[in-house]
Structure 1
């Protein structure tokens, strides 16, 4: 579609939602952002005393830009200024210092006429307010700010950092259109949802599409060898030069969960490549002291308890959804490796071994490993019904209970106790599962970061609660749960995960949007996209989709009635 046609179709949506900032400011300021889908958005803006004049001036600038660059416009976004607030550089810097890193959601202008102005997405996409991971709050990065300002407006538009210099904070709202789609999306204004498409509720189809896009992104990161591109810093399209075998395995597990939903062949082929790399390059066999054959996921010179666990998760899930038994012997060996790391008397796990001598390196590293190990053994037990695996989990939970592991609010423990109560529906396990979330609901509901593992925690807990009410003698345990607060927190967290999705209307402001669109990011880590970040979004959304398909809020009402 030609740009002029696209603009003609989008204009009515802008006019219908436009609101002037009023006051002593230009009555209408419009920002026009365009991208071909493969390069960072180019932005032009115009101010005038009325909408029609601003539209004409802005679209003329845009047409000249597109013609000069020979650009084929794929994405068009138009924003307008709804409010302007004058402040000083000193006061603005203090405001930034009170804002979490990368969470500043306003634009800024350097002059009263708004002639030198930047959208929030330009500021964040170019790391103009990012001081590095060692700085927890937003702050002006003078170098990045001036590089982009010069690129956008020409030399001589650098930011004067003088304390008394006036700056103008902009509240904006906008619309977005993909030239390959028929729908124009209204975008949220300032706030935690700023800059993404408005959605009042998530339908089954909405969640399916989020899963599909995230899973296909991961599939695109699996190389022919089966090894992943580990991750990207998208502001400047820089690769993350590291690798982690545990995250390779756990990401593959999430991809298999997603494939069970989408049945996409491209995704399946990527899964097979990833599993081949996992089983032939990353897992090593070893003879244990008692003569049994074990297997271990090797990460450099280490063996991590959680590594073996997530291998079990990936391979058992693959066996479940495909019906294959070709990894059964390897899974048994991996489980032997987990048992090798467990004290049979106390049930406690050792977390990290040296490789290849398998001596103890660290008795404890992170609580995640305990939950992962127990969950992996439970999934293998569900597949094979080998009593040894369940017995090991029961021993582990004796330790978890005595150590009060529920205080960690760990999503892996939530997964595991949900599985354990399937086969051992005992009050102590249900109570553990409830304590793991009951005093955590405010955090789940209100946490400013997307924190996707919180949704995983809640979805596993919801499944466990649905099982609990099947046992009348267990129902008094629900007295410890505020079910209204529980479901409000669950729904709020599921919807909030959309703020970590690289929608095209946000991805277009980063250096290589084609690389990241459809993925999920961690905002406070400079919008980092790493395979395990995407993994946790996917697992939570897959569980949420199943919840919606099983009745969603109707399930909540049934649970409350039963309680």
Structure 2
């Protein structure tokens, strides 16, 4: 028998071993009296959306056998070459009306509904939770909550059942919501699937440690490097439900994503990643950055974005990328450019108040937006502090200290911005002044409940916490400064940090989730934003990476 024929059987046998009890038998209760036990077998080949077979029987063993027969027949019939499988047994079933389910969906954040749904008592038209998400069946981009999408259901029904499926027309019609007990198997191993919570449907992670975090960093940084084209430009991002490219571009995110990739490369030292970084930085320097003459006669440089915009944050993240590259490689080729970028930032600051202007028009350099988004301020200060750390040029420190006069007066800490956390952590390394430490502590101290409770992965929260933690550790080590920590609940701070780090695994495209999307191999190993239709954009991956790299260093 060829390997193509034995592999599916081997996958099923390994799945059964995990799913069965100690005595090797399968057990489970009937989903409904009409359906009996219901077993789902989901094949993934990496290149296309998962294929599914269902078996029903009076017992779990009978349902398993029928599901296996159907699944293996499916492999033969369509010439499928599966490399992974999910096996799931319908477990907790909750009957309700269609109207009640719609009301529940209206109270659920979009893509955060974590139950399967059967539209009939026999479970002949039953959809798993990740299947619903992967085909955007309860997603409408026009509202924030989950909402039935009839067009996507019909499209999915044609592929899965060979016929159109429609939602019930009568709110009194019965439906059955359900969870499953399951297992996922591929060449790397076999894992029980998490049954409940925001990690439902993903492999269980009994050990959350440096090794596990490093695996996420390695695969996500490989993914990000793989998005850099031979030209040095990125594939900007994907909407994976239907494998659609995001048709826009943002040069600021090009630079900041390259910075995050450099942070990861510091760990991985991957030749493939380094080659991608080199292409990206060359594209940044040669195609995206423009040199300009400032009114005082000096020569500066600005990152140019769509609409001939010069964004304060754009220059800042360019500095972050070029400084990190210089530190890691010892290659000083970008040093003159870094000075020009820093001069460009300085020219956007009011020397009296310290306030930055956020957006200029190119090439006139007149003000387009005095203020656009709080991130730009923190990015600018952080970028200049990183350059100061490299060169010790006092000009850059002076700009940052002047900026902080404005930040403190304007109570910028109320924004709880991760970039402000980064920059104040860096500033206090060189200027350990009480007012700066107080700003940094205020930026996080009353935000811990949000970090603990936020339902979305919100990856910048881990960045905020990791930068704050570095500052807190230095405060704790200095008896003269330690009293500043009296207003910070250290136990809650530590719990919030650990919770947020672990929670980021819920935004990782595990292969057992990616298999339900249109092009699994394109997205597996990346990170996504769930409530934006599982969007994978370079800056989404960037923020997960930066936080987890810092967290890995902390664990080590």
Tell me: CA distance 1:49–1:441, structure 2 relative to 1, closer, same or farther (3 Å): same
Whether contact under 8 Å (2:462, 2:501) holds in the other structure is: yes
Whether contact under 8 Å (2:39, 2:64) holds in the other structure is: yes
Whether contact under 8 Å (1:312, 1:377) holds in the other structure is: yes
* Structure 1 partner of 2:57: 48
* Structure 1 partner of 2:252: 246
Tell me: CA distance 1:156–1:142, structure 2 relative to 1, closer, same or farther (3 Å): closer
Whether contact under 8 Å (1:35, 1:73) holds in the other structure is: yes
Distance (Å, rounded) in 2 between the aligned partners of 1:343 and 1:525: 37
RMSD: 1.2
Distance (Å, rounded) in 1 between the aligned partners of 2:73 and 2:407: 66
Aligned-pair distance for 1:160?
2.5
Matches within 5 A, 1:162-561: 162-178=170-186, 180-181=187-188, 183-300=189-306, 301-549=308-556
* Structure 2 partner of 1:553: none
Distance (Å, rounded) in 1 between the aligned partners of 2:57 and 2:521: 34
Q: Which residue of the other structure, out of 80, 83, 98, is the alignment partner of 1:71?
A: 80
Q: Which residue of the other structure, out of 8, 11, 34, is the alignment partner of 2:16?
A: 11
5+ residue gaps, structure 2: none
Distance (Å, rounded) in 2 between the aligned partners of 1:10 and 1:492: 30
Q: Which moved more, 1:470-479 or 1:503-512?
A: 470-479
Distance (Å, rounded) in 1 between the aligned partners of 2:404 and 2:164: 65
SS of alignment partner, residue 472 of structure 1:
coil
Tell me: CA distance 1:365–1:37, structure 2 relative to 1, closer, same or farther (3 Å): same
* Structure 2 partner of 1:30: 39
* Structure 1 partner of 2:146: 138
Aligned-pair distance for 1:38?
1.1
Aligned-pair distance for 1:19?
5.8
Deviations 1:331-362 (A, max 9, x none): 00000000000011111100000011100111
Aligned-pair distance for 1:22?
5.0
How many residues of Structure 1 are paired with residues of Structure 2 in the alignment? Answer: 546
SS of alignment partner, residue 292 of structure 2:
strand
* 1:155 matches 2:163: yes
Distance (Å, rounded) in 2 between the aligned partners of 1:173 and 1:407: 44
Whether contact under 8 Å (1:20, 1:27) holds in the other structure is: no
Whether contact under 8 Å (1:310, 1:372) holds in the other structure is: yes
Distance (Å, rounded) in 2 between the aligned partners of 1:157 and 1:307: 47
SS of alignment partner, residue 361 of structure 1:
strand
Distance (Å, rounded) in 1 between the aligned partners of 2:273 and 2:282: 14
Whether contact under 8 Å (1:146, 1:159) holds in the other structure is: no
Whether contact under 8 Å (2:27, 2:59) holds in the other structure is: no
Distance (Å, rounded) in 2 between the aligned partners of 1:315 and 1:143: 47
Aligned-pair distance for 1:23?
7.2
Aligned-pair distance for 1:47?
1.4
Whether contact under 8 Å (1:146, 1:158) holds in the other structure is: yes
Distance (Å, rounded) in 1 between the aligned partners of 2:201 and 2:68: 21
Distance (Å, rounded) in 1 between the aligned partners of 2:419 and 2:509: 26
Distance (Å, rounded) in 2 between the aligned partners of 1:394 and 1:90: 58
Aligned-pair distance for 1:15?
1.4
SS of alignment partner, residue 539 of structure 2:
helix
SS of alignment partner, residue 94 of structure 2:
strand
Aligned-pair distance for 1:24?
4.4
Whether contact under 8 Å (2:31, 2:92) holds in the other structure is: no
Distance (Å, rounded) in 1 between the aligned partners of 2:143 and 2:212: 36
Aligned-pair distance for 1:28?
2.0
5+ residue gaps, structure 1: 550-563
* 1:85 matches 2:91: no
Distance (Å, rounded) in 2 between the aligned partners of 1:527 and 1:155: 26
Matches within 5 A, 1:79-118: 79-118=88-127
Distance (Å, rounded) in 1 between the aligned partners of 2:29 and 2:397: 64
SS of alignment partner, residue 436 of structure 1:
helix
Distance (Å, rounded) in 1 between the aligned partners of 2:300 and 2:29: 68
Distance (Å, rounded) in 2 between the aligned partners of 1:431 and 1:231: 38
Distance (Å, rounded) in 1 between the aligned partners of 2:434 and 2:326: 31
Aligned-pair distance for 1:21?
4.0
Whether contact under 8 Å (1:21, 1:84) holds in the other structure is: no
* Structure 2 partner of 1:552: none
